[in-house]
């Protein structure tokens, strides 16, 4: 039997390849794991924006996920764009029926270009059904504001929003985007991991002023998922993933006319 670790990503398809399922598969593969994927939505997007989407239904999601789980020993699962309540409820139902060792929930609610990817009813289902199954939830500050209802403009508000999400059932919360806070320097990007025991770990890197940001959130969550599958503890998985994304941003080649994709293949 193969010793290669299998990671399953459940997310949307970005046909331009910079984000979503394709970015997840590239990232999982870069860490030496085997990537399996279930498509939740076929989006119409590129580096300049999102122009629409055709969402999958519950039967499609169940068929895709169970086909993988019936055949492969899945070490970790990552969810990304789950666009409807129907898709979220079915995903949660399957993961309750067929528990996996690690679940990373990336609560994708809006694209980099500002396109809303999930409505309020679906977001409530995501919180109620998937947060309690998660090892970690990985919102950026805008996503955390929408989930928690807290306007985040200081480190104290970051902590307050994280505590709200922990109270909603999240196993832990990785708050991304510290360089956006008014109280912090623009030269450092600080992510904060809030654990269920009340501890907080900070992960700092140089802030890179760039438009090469397409797929950063997907890639970070997928890298965390892969490292959990490989046996790393959560804080170590976050640290490795953050360094990976930083290298991918630094080596981005500037593809496209908008927010160009990061260079996953050069980040290993």
- Residue 31 within a domain: yes
Q: Is residue 47 within 8 Å of 260, Cβ to Cβ? A: yes
Question: Which domain covers residue 188, as residue numbers?
Answer: 6-266
The answer to whether residue 36 sits within a structural domain is yes
pLDDT digits (tens, 9 = 90+) for 73-122: 999 999 999 999 999 999 999 999 999 999 999 999 877 666 777 888 99
Give the helix/strand (H/E) hosting 142: helix 141-148
Q: What is the pLDDT of residue 249?
A: 94
The 3-class secondary structure across 113-137, one letter per residue, is CCCECCCHHHHHHHHHHHHHHCCEE
Residue 217 is among the residues annotated as catalytic for this protein: yes
Tell me, yes or no, if 213 is annotated catalytic: yes
| Candidate list 138, 218, 242, 246, residue with the active-site label | 218
Which of these is catalytic: 217, 219, 246, 258? 217
| Catalytic option among 12, 18, 215, 258 | 215
92-106, 198-212, 223-237: the lowest-pLDDT one = 198-212
- Does 1 fall in a domain? no
CATH of residue 104's domain is 3.40.1190.20
Q: Which of 47, 91, 112, 213 is labelled catalytic?
A: 213
92 lies in some domain:
yes
Tokens 């209802």 locate to 149
112 vs 210, more confident:
210
99 inside domain: yes
The overall pTM is greater than 0.75: yes
- Give catalytic status of residue 33 as yes or no: no
Quote the number of domains for the chain. 1
Active-site residue flag, 231? no
- Is 154 domain-assigned? yes
Tokens at residue 174, please? 């990785």
Please choose, from the candidates 28, 123, 131, the residue with its C-alpha nearest in 3D space to the C-alpha of residue 76: 28
Residue 163 covered by a domain: yes
Q: Which one-letter DSSP state was computed for residue 179?
A: G
pLDDT the model gives residue 119: 85
Residue 183 lies in a domain: yes
Of 17, 176, 178, 246, which residue is the catalytic one? 176
Annotated active-site residue 176? The verdict is yes
């Amino acid at each position: 039997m193969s010793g290669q670790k299998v990671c399953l990503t459940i997310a949307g398809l970005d046909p331009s390849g910079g984000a979503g399922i394709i970015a997840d598969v590239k990232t999982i593969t870069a860490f030496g794991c085997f990537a399996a994927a279930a498509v939740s939505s076929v989006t119409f997007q590129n580096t300049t924006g999102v122009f629409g989407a055709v969402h999958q239904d519950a039967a499609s999601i169940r068929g895709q996920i169970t086909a993988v789980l019936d055949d492969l020993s899945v070490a970790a699962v990552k969810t990304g764009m789950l666009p409807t309540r129907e898709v979220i409820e079915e995903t949660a139902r399957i993961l309750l029926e067929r528990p996996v060792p690690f679940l990373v929930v990336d609560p994708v609610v809006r694209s980099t270009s500002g396109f809303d990817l999930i409505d309020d009813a679906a977001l409530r289902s995501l919180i109620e059904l998937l947060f309690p199954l998660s090892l970690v939830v990985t919102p950026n500050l805008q996503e955390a504001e929408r989930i928690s209802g807290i306007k985040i403009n200081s480190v104290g508000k970051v902590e307050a929003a994280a505590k709200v999400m922990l109270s909603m059932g999240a196993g832990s919360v990785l708050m991304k985007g510290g360089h956006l806070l008014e109280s912090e320097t623009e030269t450092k990007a600080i992510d904060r991991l809030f654990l269920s025991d009340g501890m907080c770990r900070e992960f700092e890197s140089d802030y890179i002023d760039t438009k090469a940001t397409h797929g950063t959130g997907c890639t970070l969550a997928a890298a965390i998922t892969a490292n959990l599958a490989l046996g790393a503890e959560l804080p170590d998985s976050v640290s490795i993933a953050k360094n990976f994304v930083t290298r991918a941003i630094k080596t981005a080649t500037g593809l496209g006319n908008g927010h160009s994709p990061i260079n996953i293949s050069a980040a290993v």
